[in-house]
Amino acid sequence: MTVDTKKIVRVDGLARAITASLNATIGKAGSIQGPKGEKGEKGDIGPAGPQGPQGLQGLRGIQGPKGDRGEAGTVTPAAAIADLTAAPTAGDFNALLEALRAAGLMARSTPAPKVPVKSISISPSSPTVKEHGTLRLSATVKPDNATDRTVSWSSGDKLTATVTSDGTVTGIKQGTTSITATANDGSKVSSTVTLTVTSVPAQTETVDVFIGDSTTAIWDAAPVDKNWTTLIANADGVGNVNVAVSGAGFLNDAGKKHAYPDQVTTAIGKTQGKTVRRVFLVGLSNDQAYIKSGMDAEINAMTKTATMIKSAWPGAQLIYIVEVAPQTTSSQSMLKSFSSVINQTYTLFESEGFEVARDWFDWLPDGKANGYLYDSMHANAKGMNVAAHKIREWVNTLSGPKINGEIPAWSE
């Protein structure tokens, strides 16, 4: 059998695999041929005349012995490949494949069937993330042998939360939104979970406030007389402008009586048309008492110097909250209601509004003074919360820090 090695297709990898698998060896042709047999002798012809007897047939020549077959020659794959000089053609390649298939050395390939996605599940099933926090979601695709197991992620409300291509969600603001994982194989199979974005717990911001730090206008969430701080300051008879009490309609002139109105209408409108009592926060500084939206604050009442306290408000508490009954009173009686200066801490809760701590009850002698001034906790027997508004609602109405704060109290 003669093999034309030039017709072998030299394809890297394929030629090596075929050569190795077949381990083909081609034997050399035998080189020894047996001797030719001798021709038999010719028989004698009988004498002429009457037909003589038939001559004897000569002996058949003996066939020489068969030549030995030559030893099998060995051809190595490397040598065979090295001997190739002709570039393979597409026809050579196809012919080789057909020859291999015909010999049973290569099966005809059949494309594997496409397995579609049947279901997707997202974990965790009820995800929760904080504002500005992140959480990685995972999608489980079934069946396990699905041809394409990848998914695409999407958020129903990108203003509430976003999601990246790997399933990482980021909380933007408090609320809920849908997060969906959709199969990429065209099966339109998807799964959706509801993501809850929670607000970040308010951090506590501690500020130290001192009486007399500023005479800037008070909170503007209620009608305010812009000259109010001066009027109250003048009421102590000294004319000190560093003492301030917030409010409208409490006092009008230095030392003159004024009826406190029962009806209070705030700019926010939470107490509009209701009968309320007002609570006054006294003595906050301009630059340190401003409470940011979404923050709690601990206000530490501290003395700067004894001289400053006495000159600003003789005999007064440094910082306190009082409730003014709907009766006639005067600034002078209010200023004499407090006799000591103590360091105290008062906490403003963003989540609950201004909540009066029980410690404040001890700030006012006997819980009241002159029949007009009442401790906030004592007077607010209907509940702990003195304020009807959250701090963030107040802050939204302000353009900058304010001194003092008027707090709408409870409704009757």
Condensed to tens digits (0 to 9), the pLDDT of residues 210-254 reads 333 333 322 223 332 322 222 222 222 333 333 233 333 232 223
The residues spanned by each domain of the chain are 1-27+70-110, 119-198, 204-411
Q: What is the pLDDT of residue 111?
A: 72
The count of residues in the chain is 412
Percent of the chain with pLDDT over 70: 24
Least confident of 37-41, 148-152, 328-332: 328-332
Q: What is the pLDDT of residue 172?
A: 86
Vertex 334 angle, CA 235 and 363, to 5°: 140
Distance CA 229, CA 243 (A): 7
Condensed to tens digits (0 to 9), the pLDDT of residues 174-206 reads 899 999 999 999 999 999 999 999 886 544 433
CB environment 225-248: b (16+ within 10 A), e (fewer): beebbbbbbbbbeeebebbbbbbb
Supply the DSSP string of 234-272, one letter for each residue: HTTSS--TT--B--SSS-SSTT--EEPPSB---SS-TTT
State which of 52-61, 167-176, 309-318 shows the largest mean pLDDT.
Answer: 167-176
Quote the mean pLDDT of the chain: 51
Average pLDDT value for residue range 299-311: 34
Condensed to tens digits (0 to 9), the pLDDT of residues 348-400 reads 332 222 322 222 222 223 332 222 222 222 222 222 222 222 222 222 233 32
State which of 109-118, 215-224, 298-307 shows the largest mean pLDDT.
Answer: 109-118
Distance CA 67, CA 33 (A): 4
In three-state secondary structure terms, 138 is strand
Q: What is the pLDDT of residue 42?
A: 67
CATH class of the domain at 119-198: mainly beta
Q: What is the pLDDT of residue 315?
A: 35
| pLDDT greater than 90 at residue 165 | yes
| pLDDT greater than 70 at residue 155 | yes
Q: What is the dihedral of CA 15, 20, 23, 24, to 10 degrees?
A: 0
Structure tokens at 293: 């939206």
Which parts of 164-251 are beta strand (E)?
168-171, 175-183, 190-198, 204-209
Q: Are 250 and 281 contacting, i.e. CB atoms less than 8 angstroms apart?
A: no
Residue 175 main-chain phi, psi, to 5 deg: 150, -165
Q: What is the pLDDT of residue 97?
A: 72
**Sign of the four-CA dihedral 13, 15, 18, 24:** negative
Structure tokens at 47: 């004498």
Please measure the distance between the N-terminal and C-terminal CA atoms of the chain and give it in whole angstroms: 117
In three-state secondary structure terms, 96 is helix
Q: What is the pLDDT of residue 277?
A: 30
Q: If you search the block for the tokens 């066939």, which residue do you land on? A: 63
pLDDT band at 13 (very low <50, low <70, confident <90, very high): low
Burial class (CB in 10 A: 0-12, 13-18, 19+), 376: buried
